[in-house]
Structure 1
Amino acid sequence: MKKIIFISVLGLLGCNRNTQIHPPVGGVLSQKDLDVSRERMKNLNGLERQQIQDWINTQQVKYYSTQLNYWVNAEGYDKRERRQDNTLISYSYELYDFDQTKIYDQSIERRDARFGHFEELKAVENALRFIRNGEEVTLLVPSSLAYGTYGDEKKIDNDIPLIIKLKAL
């Protein structure tokens, strides 16, 4: 019995000594933690941008970089007239990984969404501001503008860049 108690105490002490404390989601982080996180995202974004650019170089379709840090297959896209807040738009999109495997069987579709009042991926919301009615575009999106470090908690893992086929209905 003494051996079991001794081993249990050693195990608890061993676990306690190397445990790193993480604040809960929404908790307060120190400046050092924020700096580490910022540097990680900067490095990840640079790596993903290079990987996306390498992928673009193998494609026959031309993609253009936008001001928000994603690519679109329409030249001068983000220089078009911008849709204003409170205007309505109906749209659908499909998500793919960079192996061009469709992630969800069903398209994601929204009817009469009002700008400034709906939550969407940053790149999708930005692209919808410039899309023409009936137009279909393909977006190449780094993970920071997609589902980020948490994923969608379903089929999309963390830190995954996406191909988004977006259409204004």
Structure 2
Amino acid sequence: MLKRIAFLSIIFVTVLSCGQQEARKPVSISTGSFLKESVERNKALIAKEETMIKKYIKQDSTNMYIASKNGFWYRYDKKSPQETYFPQKGDTLTYEFNASKIAGNIIYNKEEIGTLEYVVDKQQIVPGLRFGLQLMKKGETVTFLFPSHIAYGYHGDNKKIGTNIPIQSTITLLDIKKDNKNLETEN
């Protein structure tokens, strides 16, 4: 009889434990509202910066600016009509540039930065610089107006450029060393 009671107790406990479990309520609820708010803040920031840049362009009536497909504006300070070659993937570009706030104080002058090299689409640089350099020919000097999202963005450069600062930058493309693959397609 004792065995039978023990056996029935085990079956009873087993049946009770196999019953349907109750769903637990989540500890935190994720609605996506943070992401939506972040997107709206970024849209507002971009619109504010674009308005500021367009106002600057309107006030600078002596120069003609071109709107790029990548979301920045630029003007030619020195053109190279004799040059026809634009940088291609793998080319090594030698350039100088400065950076300042739009119509404001210089942040870095070209002497402070020095001469730089960039291998097109093989190295990481600020998106605005990458796109801008590819619009230039050897010997040209171009002034760019970059909204912060294609300049140094939310983080800045961790030195002199702070959070969400639109940048005015004048770049001189000193030289283009063509990649061997690009030399072959030219012949």
* 2:86/2:137 contact within 8 Å kept: no
* 1:81/1:130 contact within 8 Å kept: no
Matched, 1:103 2:107: yes
Question: Considering only CA atoms, is the larger Rg found in Structure 1 or Structure 2?
Answer: 2
* 2:49/2:166 contact within 8 Å kept: yes
| Cα 1:31–1:108 shift into 2, 3 Å | farther
The aligned runs of 1:61-140 (5 Å cut-off) are 61-74=63-76, 83-105=87-109, 106-111=112-117, 113-140=118-145
Q: Which amino acid is 1:71 matched to?
A: W
Number of aligned residue pairs: 136
| Separation (CA, whole Å) in 1 of partners of 2:66 and 2:142 | 11
Deviations 1:52-111 (A, max 9, x none): 10011111211111000000004xxxxx97532111111111001123321124135313
Q: CA deviation at 1:148?
A: 0.9
Structure 2 stretches lacking a partner, 5+ long:
1-29, 77-83, 175-187
Structure 1 stretches lacking a partner, 5+ long:
1-28, 75-79
Aligned-residue identity in percent: 25
| Separation (CA, whole Å) in 1 of partners of 2:96 and 2:168 | 14
Q: CA deviation at 1:42?
A: 0.8
SS in 1 for 2:107: coil
> What TM-score does the superposition give when structure 2 sets the normalisation length?
0.66
The aligned runs of 1:35-46 (5 Å cut-off) are 35-46=36-47
Q: Which amino acid is 2:52 matched to?
A: Q
For the aligned residue pairs, the C-alpha RMSD in angstroms reads: 2.1
* 1:48/1:161 contact within 8 Å kept: yes
